[in-house]
Amino acid sequence: MTVENKTAELNTDIVTNILVVGVGGQGVMTAADVLSQAALALGYDVKKTEVAGMAQRGGVVTSHVRFGKKVLSPSIKPGDADMMIGFEPAEALRWHSHLKPGAVVMVNDYPLIPPVVSIGLFDYPEDPLGQLANSAVELHRFNAGEAAIELGDRRLVNSIMLGAIADHLPFPPETLEAALLNRFQRKGESLVELNRQAFALGRQAFNQVDELETV
């Protein structure tokens, strides 16, 4: 599959800011890369940067993705993120001050407890997403971590989370899906199919949860 090479309407100066947050090793940077590739394919200017300590060592990883007609600084200012993909509930809470009022927030409700909490030095917040919901944001939650393990590989959480955000972007979800699947082209059809499933699951699961909550 190839990403459609169409030029987006870039008449405005609006820059879209997406924050992707989680823990090293979860695929935060890859998800941010896929989002960037999709925006690039539509003709946007794109910048992506990480605030990552030691990415593969279980530390905090935050990717900033910015796209629009022209992007200047790669860093999203506090209070300026339009959307957030949270790979872990407490990490989503950690960055809440970066969100705009009303920002769309997709969170994988699968807590990862760091050793400093395990050995009793610090407490994991009791209800991080409850706290986050108190900020004026549009919160969607789903246990993508468990779903990924059920699909057969915990790394699929990445594709599920991309599916979650797909219907909230200023471009068609198919563009994001194409950018995602493009990464797996050379690794064989079975991986492409698996990620297609994970992406679809993310789109559906997060919407479903949303409907339930609004009832």
Residue choice 101, 122, 126, 211 for contact with another protein (CB under 8 A)? 122
> Angle at which helices 173-182 and 28-41 pack, to 10 degrees?
120
Rounded to whole angstroms, the Cα distance separating 190 from 215 reads 38
Instruction: Please count the residues of this chain forming the interface with another protein, following the rule CB under 8 A.
Output: 58
Residue choice 14, 72, 130, 208 for contact with another protein (CB under 8 A)? 72
Strand spans (E) along 16-163: 16-23, 45-52, 60-68, 81-86, 99-108, 138-142
Task: Determine if 197 is a binding residue for another protein (CB under 8 A).
Answer: no
Say how many CA atoms lie within 13 Å of 190 toward its Cβ: 3
Among 52-60, 136-144, 160-168, 199-207, the segment contacting another protein (CB under 8 A): 52-60
Residue choice 6, 14, 59, 102 for contact with another protein (CB under 8 A)? 59
Residue choice 17, 26, 36, 62 for contact with another protein (CB under 8 A)? 36
Task: Determine if 136 is a binding residue for another protein (CB under 8 A).
Answer: no
Rounded to whole angstroms, the Cα distance separating 42 from 35 reads 11
Question: Looking at beta carbons only, is 93 or 165 nearer to another protein?
Answer: 93
Mapping DSSP to helix (H, G, I), strand (E, B) and coil, where does residue 8 land? coil
Residue choice 6, 9, 14, 54 for contact with another protein (CB under 8 A)? 54
Are 36 and 48 within 8 A, CB to CB? yes
Task: Determine if 90 is a binding residue for another protein (CB under 8 A).
Answer: yes
Question: Looking at beta carbons only, is 54 or 208 nearer to another protein?
Answer: 54
